[in-house]
Amino acid sequence: MKSLLHEYIKLVLTESVTYRELDSPLPYRRASNVKRLALCDSSVTEPPNKHDAYFAEIQKWDRYGKSGRPLKKKRKGELIPGVSAVCIAGFLDFHSYGSDMYYIDYMKTRTDMRGKGYATQLIDEFFKRYAKPGMTIHFGKMMREEIGYLKDKMAEKYPGVNVIGSRDF
């Protein structure tokens, strides 16, 4: 009875969640065919904080020239693109190496949405879509303990998939 109630609550909570797959707007040196899997929660209506990188568009300004000397007037520098919709609570950028390996380039959850399980839902959906027995999923250089936890969780949940990554935390 208890598990049935948990399943119903889980269904109600996740019914507003959809996933969008698109090309990543971020430039990566490692690969040019980087895709993005974005988690869109229709219950999220507030825009992200204007300083939340990769969710809000941020215009950087150059204060120094190529020689390192200060400029008289600052000029527009790099434009960091934001996400296309307010409902996006997290995204995962990835690319494939051949037919049997995926590399996770970057994964981020909105700062105000952390701790709500969006990263777990996102990585679960990624593995459901792409992880097949005998494949390798490379988490890359993991900069946060939470990502290391997700890697270990997926390695346990999908024993036929080789889940690797280097810890840098």
pLDDT in tens, 42-74: 888 888 888 888 888 888 899 998 899 999 999
Domains of the chain, first to last: 16-61+76-167 (3.40.630.30)
- What is the pTM for the complete model shown? 0.79
Q: Which residues neighbour 66 within 8 Å (Cβ) at sequence distance 6 or greater? A: none
Q: Give the Cα separation of 59 and 52 in Å (integer).
A: 12
Q: In this structure, are strands 162-167 and 136-142 parallel, antiparallel, or unpaired?
A: parallel
